[in-house]
Amino acid sequence: MGKSIAVENLRAWYGDQLTLKGIDMELEANRATAIIGPSGCGKSTFIRCLNRLHETVPHSRVEGEIRLGDEDLYRMDPVDVRRVVGMVFQKANPFPMMSIFDNVALALRLNGIRRKRELFERVEKSLRMAALWDEVKDRLRDPATALSGGQQQRLCIARALAMEPDVLLMDEPTSALDPGSTLRVEELIEALKSSYTIVIVTHNMQQAARVADRTAFFLNGELIEYGDTATLFTKPADPRTEAYVTGRFG
């Protein structure tokens, strides 16, 4: 089951540039939360802080607190954080020199799972959860790059799920996909949120309305409004939110 994430006074810098300006919010367990806002508002920085990828950027730093359940993410080993907080990026990034099977199995092997039967069972489970198994079960040894763009993105989702994380972060996961592949990923989000806490960054407000239980609107590094998705889109409390969701800027 997923876990909640509590964010308190989160601030993030790139060099001297303050990118997040004191974010306070709780991401509910087993819900899909969308992060929306114009380019450069801090959306991607925010989710990169949730699995400590932000600190891998030279001259970056973070202040504040992020708790996953009862654990302080910034007191954990970063490698352990990325086991429990998986990430799917905007562009599908399967390991190019590996097969479909090995793309999913690599992290399992690195974490000590070597028995062939257990490896196969975990890979199959992950591919099934990513709604990809039926399409690739007869070609597991084919190169991952032979898959279509939408299949590659679902493979990356399977790869993230293989480590059985509590949270799945998705940064614009469908922006490079055709409508049919986008629909498959959106259906997948709906199916997965009963088992995982999902946070999705999207520029597509229709997508946020379709897949998210709650939505957060970011602007200039600040959290302007956060609440039930339907309410935020139909009866926003802040005029800046209303201006954004009605297309008057952004």
Confidence category of residue 44, pLDDT binned at 50, 70, 90: very high
How large is the average pLDDT for residues 214-238?
Answer: 97
Statement: residue 111 has pLDDT above 90:
no
Residue 249's pLDDT is 74
Distant-in-sequence contacts of 80-84, Cβ < 8 A, 24+ apart:
81/51, 81/52, 82/51, 82/52, 82/53, 83/111, 83/163, 83/165, 84/163, 84/165, 84/166, 84/167
Domains of the chain: 5-94+166-245 (3.40.50.300)
The answer to whether 170 and 204 are in contact (CB under 8 A) is no
Residue 220's pLDDT is 96
How large is the average pLDDT for residues 33-44?
Answer: 96
Confidence category of residue 112, pLDDT binned at 50, 70, 90: confident
Q: Whole-angstrom Cα distance, residue 79 to residue 220? A: 30
First to last CA, the chain: 35
Q: Whole-angstrom Cα distance, residue 142 to residue 96? A: 11
**SS3 labels along 20-73:** EEEEEEEECCCCEEEEECCCCCCHHHHHHHHCCCHHHCCCEEEEEEEEECCEEH
How large is the average pLDDT for residues 91-96?
Answer: 91
The two tokens of residue 217 are 């609107």
β-bridge partners, 31: none
Statement: residue 219 has pLDDT above 70:
yes
Statement: residue 114 has pLDDT above 90:
no
Statement: residue 250 has pLDDT above 70:
no
Q: Are strands 197-201 and 85-88 parallel, antiparallel or unpaired?
A: unpaired
Q: Whole-angstrom Cα distance, residue 3 to residue 48? A: 17
How large is the average pLDDT for residues 72-81?
Answer: 94
Amino acid letter, 46: F
pLDDT digits (tens, 9 = 90+) for 117-171: 999 999 999 999 999 999 999 999 999 999 999 999 999 999 999 999 999 999 9
Confidence category of residue 68, pLDDT binned at 50, 70, 90: very high
Say how many C-beta atoms besides its own lie within 10 A of residue 181's C-beta: 19
What percent of the chain is modeled with pLDDT above 70? 100
Whether the model pTM is above 0.75: yes
Amino acid letter, 203: H
Q: Average pLDDT of the chain?
A: 95
Residue 62's pLDDT is 96
| Coil vs helix vs strand at 122 | helix
Confidence category of residue 110, pLDDT binned at 50, 70, 90: confident
